Amino acid sequence: MRHYADHGRIDPARLTPVVLDIGEALVTKHLLDTGESPSDDYLHAIVDQAILPAIGHHPATA
């Protein structure tokens, strides 16, 4: 995400320590809760539903 902030694609002010930890935290929680790595669909959901909104981007809805 820092790469995109450095290139003007993301507002660097949105890249707080909490936002930067969202993906890793959700993957770790899933692993602890289920004992399994998240599926590709779950990883996409983390990006679409948590990370993108946190950085000010909203995925297109179908």
What is the number of structural domains in the chain? 1
Is 24 within a domain? yes
Closest CA to 52 of 7, 28, 37, 60: 60
**33: amino acid identity, one letter:** D
For the cut 50, the answer to whether the pLDDT of residue 62 exceeds it is: no
pLDDT of 61 reads: 56
Asked if residue 3 is part of any domain, the answer here is no
* Confidence grade of residue 20 (pLDDT, cut at 50, 70, 90): very high
Residue 9 inside a domain? The answer is: no
How do residues 30-61 score in pLDDT, each as one tens digit? 999 999 999 999 999 999 999 999 999 876 65
CB 55 within 8 Å of CB 26: no
Question: Is the pTM here over 0.85, yes or no?
Answer: no
Does 4 fall in a domain? no
| Residue 2 within any structural domain of the chain | no
> From CA 29, how far away is CA 38, in angstroms rounded?
10
Domain around 40 = 14-62
Q: What are the structure tokens assigned to 42, written together?
A: 């779950």
Question: Does 36 map to a domain?
Answer: yes
Q: Examine residue 54 and state whether it is found in any structural domain, yes or no.
A: yes
Phi-psi region of 38 (alpha: psi -120 to 50; beta: other; left: phi over 0): beta
